[in-house]
Amino acid sequence: MRLKPRIVLDGREAPSPSTLWTLGFSALLWIATYQYFRFASARDPTSYFFSEASGYERRYSLYREQQAYDFLRDNNASSVSFNKAQGEPFMCVGVATVARTSDQQYVRGTIGSLLQDITQLERQSIYLMPFIAHTNPHDHPINEEPWLTLADRVLEYDVNPEDLAMLQLFEEGHHYRNKSMYDYGYLLDKCHQTGASWIAMIEDDVLARDGWFPRAKRALQVLSDRQGSKPWLYMRIFYTEGLLGWNDEEWLRYFGYSLVCFVALSSVLLLSRSRFPRLLRSLSNTNIAVLGLVVLPSYIILYFMAGRVTVQPFHAGVHEMNRFGCCSQGFVFPRSIVPRLVERTKRAMDEDYYIDMLLERWADAEHLQRYVLVPSLLQHVGGKSSKGWGYDENAVTTWNFGFEDHPP
């Protein structure tokens, strides 16, 4: 048998053709996959390939916003009354609203989108309660606008003189944390008084997707069957994917999975070579080392670059979310937890954090499960924060990227 001569460069053996072919093919496939993720992950905020121009593009929300405003305009001009809640409602929807410093009052779109595609029968099971959270309701531009008659009740402060004086001090001193905590508990309590089985607390600068109510209703039934009598805190109907990326505290788990992939690949290649001698040349020790120590790590790196939302997406349905949930744009609470939560908001009046922080700390202390509904039922569109100066940048980036993929 005639052996092929070995090529020697500078005293070292040159890579074999099979090694070069393995490297070349792997490199071409890696480049093609890289190019694919440049487009596939452009809207994934956890990805190296994330593009702000693409990610924050208002695809569906602009369409939904127009539907909401058209609905309010048509019902302003219509003489036909829209059905309201009858008997004890299935859900009370509370929307606390304060005037923005700009001319844009997002609450109009919020209410319009909540009602736009609701059937008459569904409307009878919803108690809609916008709350004008000003000690002087006339300070809000929407006060007495005709479309407010679509609500079951437009809530205003009906409190004792001491609380009213305190609220006025909060307004004058711009104590947003304290006042927002008071308002949240106040609206929760008023919703609880309606007898509703579920209380949805929705901020005044969001848009609801079409079909939000039947989707929420089905999800709550799933949760009720799953939890039984075990207490839980909320079902989140808005979340932002930006906090769902790779986490530093889980690096050891990621390393472990990567090591498993290396061991599995090496084992398969060595076993294949031992069982099929004709693979001896193509699966040489050099080729196996290239595949395990060069090719595989490069693909693992590309996997992480692609972003967690891309490669490990949440599937549609109800999921546990006891960590990394943000923010307070929309929650649905079971009726049974609301009295305790109202009392907790009262004790938190002087504590230095917002309602979403309160909910997470309280849930951790009480060992209460938290859930999220995927896909998100709401989109946050408020570019001007109700918290005042300094929060607008955070307001703009509080965004659900998957919401915009919903077809009009």
Would you say the pTM of this structure is higher than 0.85?
yes
Contacts of 280 (CB under 8 A, 6+ apart): 273
Task: Provide the 10 A C-beta neighbour count for residue 239.
Answer: 25
Yes or no: say if 342 and 393 are a contact pair by the CB < 8 Å rule: no
Whether the pLDDT of residue 13 is over 60: the answer is no
What is the Cα–Cα distance from 315 to 274, expressed in whole angstroms? 41
Sign of CA dihedral 307, 308, 309, 313: positive
CB atoms closer than 10 angstroms to residue 186: 23
**Which pLDDT band holds residue 159 (cuts at 50, 70, 90)?**
very high
Of 188, 202, 164, 241, nearest in space to 400 by CA? 241
At 26, the amino acid letter reads: S
- What is the rounded distance in angstroms from the CA atom of residue 301 to the CA atom of residue 336? 47
Q: Encode pLDDT of 328-376 as tens digits.
A: 999 999 999 999 999 999 998 877 678 999 999 999 999 999 999 999 9
pLDDT (0 to 100) of residue 40: 96
| Predicted local distance difference test score (pLDDT) of residue 394 | 65
Higher pLDDT, 348 or 95: 95
- How far apart, in whole angstroms, are the C-alpha atoms of residue 3 and residue 221? 73
Q: Which of 70-84, 109-123, 208-222 has the lowest mean pLDDT?
A: 70-84
Residue 388: per-residue pLDDT: 53
Write out the two tokens for 77.
Answer: 């001009």
Mode of pairing for the β-strands spanning 369-374 and 198-202: unpaired
> What per-residue confidence (pLDDT) applies to 11?
46
Q: What does the angle CA 277 – CA 283 – CA 289 come to, to the nearest 5 degrees?
A: 145
Structural tokens at position 17: 């053709």
Q: What pLDDT is recorded for position 224?
A: 92
CA-closest candidate to residue 356, choices 341, 373, 378: 341
- Supply φ then ψ for residue 348, to 5 degrees: -95, 5
Distances (CA, A) of 405 to 202, 284, 317, 318: 22, 47, 17, 19
Give the range among 258-267, 283-292, 330-339 with minimum mean pLDDT. Answer: 283-292
How far apart are the C-alpha atoms of 156 and 158, rounded to whole Å? 6
